[in-house]
Amino acid sequence: MKAAVLVFPGSNCDRDLAVAFRNAGCSVEMVWHKDTTLPDDVDIVGIPGGFSFGDYLRCGAIAARSPIVGALKSHVERGGYALGICNGFQVLVETGLLPGALIRNAGLKFICKPVDLTVETTASDFTSGYTKGQSVTYPVAHHDGNYIAGPDTLAALTGEDRVAFRYDGNVNGSADNIAGILSENRRVLGLMPHPERAADPALGGADGADLFRSLAIAAVTA
């Protein structure tokens, strides 16, 4: 499996994401935001956490208009995988590749701590290594992680089994405690918690490693 990790000014989890992919057996290339093409034969594009462009205007709003995003959209339209974590999730909703929006946390404070999540579906190549209803722990580190969407969108996400993870409790005010969602074709995942920061026991937990392993296995067997 070949992964490309996008790098924007202000990204601070790009290396962490690359390491998580490599530990799952992937080859990885870092791609600068001013590039206009992705490397050949890329299976998945990772959009890392951080504070792209200093979160100026809105989180992810400027990054979503970077030159590389045209190639990201084309990749997704061809059925390629994409994984957006934290700021990467914000970028994905700003591009329209995922529905909804992410706004200021309900408590108006930056949240940085491990949180418990429930795996809501295993019917995706990102989550097939878990069991439905399994509790996992990933860290969060965000100020604008409060997921909102209209009632029709929320109903569709639930009805189509596209909620990947939910918070166990009200962490940031997100509608229906949503922590991560899938695209209609189930090949794009956006989530606020950081699986790449929970992918090695040396980091304090390895619950996130199964996400990367599941994806690598799916790409190889596809």
CA distances to 63, 151, 162, 218 from 159, in Å: 31, 12, 8, 24
What's the first-to-final CA gap in the chain, in angstroms? Answer: 11
Q: Look up 160 and say whether it is catalytic.
A: no
Active-site annotation holder among 33, 75, 142, 194:
194
Name the active-site residue from 75, 94, 142, 196: 196
Joined together, the tokens standing for residue 199 give: 């992918």
Catalytic residue (choose from 13, 26, 59, 86): 86
Half-sphere exposure of 88 (CA within 13 A, CB side): 30
Establish whether 86 is a catalytic residue.
Answer: yes
- Is 33 catalytic? The answer is no
CB 33 within 8 A of CB 91: no
Tokens of 112: 């940085």
3-state secondary structure 21-76: HHHCCCEEEEEECCCCCCCCCCCEEEECCECHHHHCCCCCCCHHHCCHHHHHHHHH
Instruction: Please identify every residue annotated as catalytic.
Output: 86, 194, 196
